[in-house]
Amino acid sequence: MDASGPPTRVSASVRPTDDAMLRRFLLGLAEGLNAAMEPVDRIRDIMLEVARAYGRSDVDFVVLPTVILVETGSGDTGKVALRSTLDPSFRFDQIQALYDLVAKARTGSIAPVDGIARLNAIGSMRPRYRWPVRVLGHAILTTGLALLLAPTWQGALVSFVLGAFLGLGKLIRSPTIQLVFPVVAAFLCALAVFLVAPYIAIGDPIRLMIAPLATFLPGGVLTTATRELAAGQMIAGASRLVTGLVQLALLAFGILAAGTLVGVGSSTYLPLEADGQLPWWVGAVGVLLFAAGNLLHFSAPGRTFGWLLLALAVAYVGQTVGQALAGSTISGFIGALAMTPVVLWIGSLKHGVPAQLAFLPAFWLLVPGAAGLVGLTEAIGSDRGMEDFVAALVSVMSIALGVLFGSALYRVVHHGAEELADFHIDMPAAIDEVVKPRFWARLLPWRHDSVWRRIRRGEASTPSSESPNT
């Protein structure tokens, strides 16, 4: 639903009086793409393409995770606009609406003032589904992931209840509460699992409690970080990577705090035997439920379900093959390597969906399955601290390397020699002008532009008509 009405066709050029409006529109688009967890190099490429659609080739951008700068004009006449962001995040329906707007902006088919109005409408867009459906969606995706991590009927039931509780808490729109809620959620979820584990055969308690925490995992941050590192954006990529690892550590702290309160020992972090394992096809059911839960909880458009299911299936199959061939440590690398080109290909299709809609759920599927947070928690909570800590680091980095290799492979295939950047620096206008020496300086005989040298070369400023007769 377009709040700005029918798109307004604008001319290919933008008048100088419209520069301020255009800069504001470009800043808003870049901020929206940042909220969609798009890599900063991709944001810059999109913004340059949009600027050319509005007849401006003298526009440049600097995009970082929390700061965006746009310059219009060149030389001494250039003007810079700055925008500092607090790293917001969009739901899937907002991401889809944002990329629809970007498609219009790439052709210059919407006026900047209407584009700004549309951006404000996207920011205040109400979810596609009401809160009971979104809470149910979080419980469903949690159950699906539990069937992949701890395939028992008891574990699936516990995960459904915890997923519904945490899904309701996630809908509280308070910046202060949302800041501390991931750690609180990890604490409450671990507390509940540790209390019921002695009485119900739920399998591995650590893996089970991570299923309700899947949407709190910094999947988007780590995914975007590795894609930015693949593109050579070291500042943005390294800062996001550190942020993601810190978020994993905070979640592990909440789990360990609950274990300390209950008084569990290191043996509690080891898996328990379940009364009965589920059939082998439960894994496929888990992927299907996980995709449906993401669709409902994040209010994704219905047409994205097939693409989302495809990305999750590729990630799951790749991870399963990696588990069989090389063990759990390398399984995340193979899953990410198989999934990344497919997701980027989906994003490039005319009738596809934005890559971010498939990237985020696929990475949530890979991180717990590759024992990232599991290994980090067991590293501190069990007696095998150093061994499990190293295994946790290797698991997380294996997924990062899988995304890195997959992104690089896709960029080479689709861009090739275009990845070679042009290195050029514009000189200031004052330096470009030829500076004439002062009159007294031209009287010095040792200067190369001295008037005495010109006289000796017969280049004195005498009239040319006084040439000698022979």
Residue 2 lies in a domain: no
Same domain, residue pair 190 and 236: yes
Q: Are 224 and 297 in contact (CB under 8 A)?
A: no
Question: Do 111 and 252 share a structural domain?
Answer: no
The CA distance from 265 to 317, in Å, is 35
Residue 204 to residue 261: CA distance in whole angstroms? 19
Same domain, 180 and 95: no
Pair (388, 346) in one structural domain? yes
HSE (side-chain half, CA atoms, 13 Å) at 341: 13
- For residue 244, is it within any domain? yes
Is 84 strand, coil or helix?
A: strand
Q: For residue 143, tell me if it sits in a domain.
A: yes
Where does a domain end: 123, 154, 188?
123
**Same domain, yes or no: 370 and 248:** yes
Let me know if residue 468 belongs to a domain. Answer: no
Q: Which helix (H) or strand (E) holds 156?
A: helix 153-170
**Which DSSP string do the residues of 296-352 spell out, in sequence order?**
HHTT--GGGHHHHHHHHHHHHHHHHHHHHHH-HHHHHHHHHHHHHHHHHHHHHSTTS
Does residue 412 lie in a domain region?
Answer: yes
Residue 382 contacts residue 271 (beta carbons within 8 Å) = no
Residues 177, 261, single domain; the answer is yes
Residue 185 shares a structural domain with residue 327: yes
Residues spanned by the domain of 221: 131-416
The CA distance from 155 to 271, in Å, is: 12
- Mind listing the pLDDT tens digit of every residue in the chain (470 residues)? 444 444 434 444 444 447 788 888 999 999 999 888 888 888 988 999 999 898 888 888 888 888 888 888 776 677 787 888 766 678 889 998 999 999 899 988 898 999 999 999 998 888 888 889 999 999 999 999 888 877 778 888 888 999 999 998 888 877 777 778 889 999 999 898 888 877 777 777 777 888 888 888 776 787 778 778 877 888 988 888 888 888 888 888 888 888 888 877 655 555 445 455 667 788 889 999 999 999 999 988 888 899 999 999 999 999 888 888 877 777 888 888 899 889 888 888 878 888 888 888 887 787 654 455 666 666 555 555 556 666 666 777 777 788 878 877 887 776 654 444 455 555 555 544 455 556 555 666 666 666 566 666 554 444 444 444 44
Residues 138 and 118 in one domain: no
- Residue 445 included in any domain: no
Of 416, 431, 452, the residue at which a domain comes to its end is 416
Report the distance separating Cα 168 and Cα 134, nearest Å.
Answer: 8
Within-domain flag for 438: no
- Do both 156 and 83 map to the same domain? no
Q: Would the pTM of this model clear 0.85, i.e. be above it?
A: no
Whether 406 maps to a domain, the answer reads yes
In whole angstroms, how far apart are CA 124 and each of 93, 94, 121, 289?
12, 9, 5, 29
Per DSSP, 430 falls in state H
42, 160: one domain:
no
Together in a domain, 100 and 191: no
The last residue of a domain, from among 123, 157, 191: 123
- 96 shares a domain with 185: no
The number of distinct structural domains making up the chain is 2
